[in-house]
Structure 1
Amino acid sequence: MTARPNADSPHADPPHAPVDGPLYAHGIVRRGFRPRPGLVGAGGGAVLVVPAGPLAALVSVPCGPGVWGGDGFPQASGAAGMSRAEAAAQAAADAHRRVVDEAAATVCVLPLRIGTVHRDEAQVRRVLTERADLYERLLTRLDGRLEWGVKAYADDAAGAWAAGDGAGAVTDGAGEPVDKLARAAHDALADVSECSRVHHRWDACPHGVLPGAAASCATSAYWTSPISGAPYPHGRNLLDSAYLVHREAAGVFAETVGGLVARCPELHIELTGPWAPYSFADPDELPDLTG
């Protein structure tokens, strides 16, 4: 007789009634992870675990089936409907990030594209099975590592920044252009991280590891400040980078940021994180990590 798994075991899959309707997919983890009871996902539904082999997907059941469109966000029409759709998209993006980052606090998570919706559990399992090798390689590469974000701004309150050829650009006390300080800051942080990615203004969003509809990353609280020519509250944005850092090296990375803040008063430097490795979960750009 085959023994049944103990429901109290940390490696037992949390029980739930099979779901036939659409499921919003948040991320991929190794089988055995159990989300916090009461954790709410996109659309206000409870977060469930759908396992397949050694992997599992974190999904939620969108409330109000039938109103979710192909892009993973509630549909609406008309002028008044547009504002409701935008609010719903913002709420979905926030919930997506909340679920992924809460899981990433304890296990390695591959974040999926915002707005990834599957028809049912069978489709989720099929995708997990078909791409199991890729997902396991990504989980192995990223295990024990988190993403930190660093943004650097130059103070142009006095209007010293000039567009075009850079004439009249903001300089530090020695007369060096501040953008060189930002590049030096990035180099210093790259030296104490395992991988880095500079976000450019044409980066719409991080790529998901599951095929899905286009993400509405402008609604995500994390992806609101790509590099652009527009002024920011703190000045001109010179650096918007993501760094992959091992959990054990987080202190060293934070100290490096603190040292840059002290040495570069001409820059306003912001550190955010730790996050799940959003910028490093692209299957087409596997990070080349050692060890």
Structure 2
Amino acid sequence: MVRADEGVWLYAVTREVPAPWLADLTGVDGEQIRVVVSTGLMAIVGTVDLADFGEQVLPARLEDIDVLAALARDHDGVIEAAVHRVTTAPMRLATMYFDDARVGQMLKDHHDDLDRTLRLIDGCEEWGVKGFAPTVTTPAQREPETSASRDAPGGGAAYLRRRRNQLMARDESENMAYRRAELVHDSLVRLSKLERRHPPQDPKLTGVDTAMVLNGAYLVPRERAATFAETVAVLGRQAGGLRLELTGPWPAYSFTGLRETTT
């Protein structure tokens, strides 16, 4: 029974199966993990305090990077425990419902989509591949700029020419990186069951000061995982300066389909 001052945090959806392993799991609020069952599907949930997780306070809490990291770690921990045992459709962080009845209704309303998703991701893992354009160093950049060179006759015009050439070289390098990234993506798609292209991430998040030209998620059958990883390594060596970063395996977050909600 969920009280008026509590809500239900949704972690994942799987088939209706015995789940004694849930007994030892706790969630984002330190709560005991439990299940809601409807129409042959099972939602893995936890009851949380709305004083900390209600829609009036949670968005502000998620802006705190330390709070966000802790919630993401606890959320992922529950999902990882499920993924290693049963085919699991993970839900996004902060997917909330008012009570168990709403969760059960969601399972009923989205039964066909969730059933299709579980069949799609069965036996698969999500892998991420990011591609970064190479750092461009022009001859002008290697020569130290001095006040004398800028102040010399014609120095200002020469500086502008060098700056223009630097920008043109960077643009040409990034355009080439994008073309190479498309070739990488096409090669990885052939090893994948499904793919998603995510928007490039901000350099503040990546810690890389060159352009992200590929941010792909790939649903890969487990028996192809080693081949997929080796292919990324080979493509990275052949990519002419394009730097590839492989991450995973992950629960299939990019392929579950349900959006974050409070209902």
Range of TM-score over shorter length: 0.7 to 0.9
Partners of 1:29 and 1:19 in 2: CA distance: 22
Q: Which has the higher contact order (CA 8 A, sep 6+)?
A: 2
Q: Is the 8 A contact 1:227 1:238 kept in 2?
A: no
Partners of 1:182 and 1:136 in 2: CA distance: 33
- Give the letter aligned to residue 148 of structure 1: W
Matched ranges for 1:14-163 at <5 A: 18-20=1-3, 21-32=6-17, 34=19, 35-62=21-48, 64-70=49-55, 73=58, 87-156=66-135, 158=137
Query: What is aligned with 2:250?
Result: 275
Partners of 2:137 and 2:76 in 1: CA distance: 37
How far off its partner does 1:154 sit?
2.4
| TM-score w.r.t. length of structure 1 | 0.67
Partners of 2:57 and 2:92 in 1: CA distance: 10
Q: Is the 8 A contact 2:27 2:74 kept in 1?
A: yes
Task: Indicate the structure (1 or 2) with the bigger Cα radius of gyration.
Answer: 2
How far off its partner does 1:149 sit?
0.2
- Give the letter aligned to residue 154 of structure 1: A
Identity %: 29
Deviates more, 1:92-101 or 1:248-257: 92-101
Matched ranges for 1:216-227 at <5 A: 226=201
Partners of 1:124 and 1:28 in 2: CA distance: 10
- Relative to 1, partners in 2 of residues 1:270 and 1:55: Cα closer, same or farther, differing over 3 Å? same
| TM-score w.r.t. length of structure 2 | 0.74
How far off its partner does 1:29 sit?
0.6
Unaligned stretches of 5+ residues in structure 2: 142-162
3-state secondary structure, aligned to 2:211: strand
Partners of 2:2 and 2:113 in 1: CA distance: 26
Query: What is aligned with 2:196?
Result: 197
Any idea what the Cα deviations from partners look like across 1:192-214, whole Å, max 9, x if unmatched?
1121111114xxxxxxxxxxxxx
3-state secondary structure, aligned to 1:200: coil
- Say which structure is richer in helix: 2
Query: What is aligned with 1:238?
Result: 213
Q: Is the 8 A contact 1:68 1:75 kept in 2?
A: no
Query: What is aligned with 2:170?
Result: 169
Q: Is the 8 A contact 2:15 2:41 kept in 1?
A: yes
- Relative to 1, partners in 2 of residues 1:130 and 1:72: Cα closer, same or farther, differing over 3 Å? farther
Partners of 1:178 and 1:74 in 2: CA distance: 36
How far off its partner does 1:263 sit?
2.0
Partners of 1:267 and 1:257 in 2: CA distance: 12
- Relative to 1, partners in 2 of residues 1:147 and 1:96: Cα closer, same or farther, differing over 3 Å? same
Q: Is the 8 A contact 2:133 2:211 kept in 1?
A: yes
How far off its partner does 1:244 sit?
0.8
Q: Is the 8 A contact 1:138 1:283 kept in 2?
A: no
Q: Is the 8 A contact 2:217 2:254 kept in 1?
A: yes
- Relative to 1, partners in 2 of residues 1:190 and 1:68: Cα closer, same or farther, differing over 3 Å? same
- Give the letter aligned to residue 44 of structure 1: G
Any idea what the Cα deviations from partners look like across 1:69-124, whole Å, max 9, x if unmatched?
12782767xxxxx97x5543332223222322332233222222321222222222
3-state secondary structure, aligned to 2:247: strand
3-state secondary structure, aligned to 2:245: strand
Q: CA RMSD in A?
A: 3.4
Unaligned stretches of 5+ residues in structure 1: 1-17, 77-81, 202-225, 285-291
Query: What is aligned with 1:178?
Result: 177
